Chain A
Amino acid sequence: DQQVKQNSPSLSVQEGRISILNCDYTNSMFDYFLWYKKYPAEGPTFLISISSIKDKNEDGRFTVFLNKSAKHLSLHIVPSQPGDSAVYFCAAGSYNNNDMRFGAGTRLTVKP
């Protein structure tokens, strides 16, 4: 039962352009959404989050958009840099339980 889906296994963009990573979810009870970034041989590290009561959160080059009616969120990276090349995981959770659900990840490659 994959409640969080990242349908694009990979994405390749040119340095300086925008990267858009997408995530869909099925459980309307999720209260919070997070994006994690993972480099090879390392654990995921937190990138940015958004509450279900917001539709946008911005942190420097990273912006997350939430469309609750469509059960869809996206991560925008502008401008993309080669150091952004990593696997990005979308995650969702609820305040009333202890289970965080993760998507399968999208591998982003930013070409110089």
Chain B
Amino acid sequence: NAGVTQTPKFQVLKTGQSMTLQCAQDMNHEYMSWYRQDPGMGLRLIHYSVGAGITDQGEVPNGYNVSRSTTEDFPLRLLSAAPSQTSVYFCASSYSRPGGNQPQHFGDGTRLSIL
């Protein structure tokens, strides 16, 4: 029972490099989200998807891109990495929208450092 799987677990990038954080879920959830967690702050929503082919911006979308070609996968792309994007990234999925009463299932996170 895998749930939400994120890869890689750790990554170090140089400023200006691009990369894709992978997220896959096997629960057939329609809703998927990406959050970042920074010290002293709560999880902040970057982008979310309400189903295959449909994505929208969250609270902090700048510098990130997403797509949702299948129900299972929701990759997050850093277009040109900046030190301000050093953070821990969490992917989540749920039956209903993130603002609703259905709890989200989170992956174990990707710790990303930008030098």
Contacts and interface: CB of A to CB of B under 8 A. Distances in A.
A43 B90 contact: yes
Nearest to A34: B103
Given A42-B108, A46-B104, A98 B41 contact: no
Interface stretch (A64-72, A75-83, A100-108): A100-108
Nearest to B99: A93
A2 interface: yes
B99 A49 contact: no
Contact of A100 (B45, B56, B105): B45
Given A99-B99, A100-B45, A100-B98, A44 B106 contact: yes
A22 to B, nearest CB: 14
Interface string B93-115: 00001111101111111000000
B102 to A, nearest CB: 9
Interface in B1-50: 4, 31, 33, 35, 40-45, 48, 50
Contacts of B108: 41-43
Contact of A43 (B45, B101, B106): B106
Nearest to B96: A95
A4 interface: yes
17 contacts: A6-B42, A31-B100, A36-B106, A43-B107, A91-B42, A93-B99, A95-B100, A96-B99, A97-B97, A98-B45, A99-B98, A100-B33, A100-B45, A100-B99, A101-B42, A103-B42, A104-B41
B3 to A, nearest CB: 9
A42 B59 CA distance: 23
B19 to A, nearest CB: 20
Contacts of A49: 101, 103
Most buried by A among B31, B35, B100: B100
Contacts of B48: 98
A9 B41 CA distance: 10
